Amino acid sequence: MSRSYTYIGCLNASLSGLKVLVVTGLMARGLVEEEVRRAEGKRVEAVVVALPRPVAALFSLKFIASELQRLDLRGGGFDAILIPGMVRGDASTLKDELGVPAFKGPKHAADLAAALEALAAGEELSTTTPACELLKERVEGRALKALSELEAS
């Protein structure tokens, strides 16, 4: 079975910025790429990798580790890995296998920009709790702003 990975570099980091690998599946790739671009200018560089399965929420930590080991992340200069928030288990196990700290991202791709912005601001994400639950107020504020913009147009 051939492997196909998609990398989307969001080259918006300053030299002192954070470099984050964002893991997703094939179906959500486009939305995840769009959300990564929304985080532009937030002192974070995000690289999206779409692993070769359609639904990221169904990934196991073992599958993620196995696929990312093929990419040899140790030389990639990544400061963190964000996995989908719906993945079961403790993301800290990935650090042992990959050498890079891993955290739960949000449950939904639409909340990814807020999670990346939080990381860039130095906020601590969790290895067990999805980022959207930790950043609930920020995500709600973004949703209300988008709703207001829609109502105004």
Domain count, the chain: 1
What is the pLDDT at residue 41? 65
Range of the domain at 69: 7-152
Instruction: Specify the CATH number for the domain of residue 141.
Output: 3.40.50.11600
Is residue 1 included in any domain, yes or no? no
Q: From CA 16, how far away is CA 33, in angstroms rounded?
A: 22
Is residue 2 included in any domain, yes or no? no
Q: Pairing relation of β-strands 44-50 and 80-83?
A: unpaired
Hey, how many other C-beta atoms are within 10 angstroms of the C-beta on 52? 14
Is residue 77 included in any domain, yes or no? yes
Is residue 19 included in any domain, yes or no? yes
This prediction has a pTM of 0.81
Q: Using one digit for the tens of pLDDT, what is the confidence trace for 69-81?
A: 888 776 678 999 9
Is residue 117 included in any domain, yes or no? yes
Q: For residue 24, which of 50, 47, 45, 44 has the smallest C-alpha distance?
A: 50
Is residue 140 included in any domain, yes or no? yes
Q: From CA 24, how far away is CA 130, in angstroms rounded?
A: 14
Q: Using one digit for the tens of pLDDT, what is the confidence trace for 2-61?
A: 454 555 444 344 444 788 999 999 999 999 999 888 876 667 888 899 999 999 999 999
Q: How many CA atoms lie within 13 A of 118 on its CB side?
A: 24
Is residue 30 included in any domain, yes or no? yes
What is the pLDDT at residue 144? 87
Q: From CA 137, how far away is CA 120, in angstroms rounded?
A: 17
Q: Using one digit for the tens of pLDDT, what is the confidence trace for 121-139?
A: 888 899 999 999 988 877 6
Q: From CA 9, how far away is CA 110, in angstroms rounded?
A: 18
Q: From CA 128, how far away is CA 91, in angstroms rounded?
A: 6
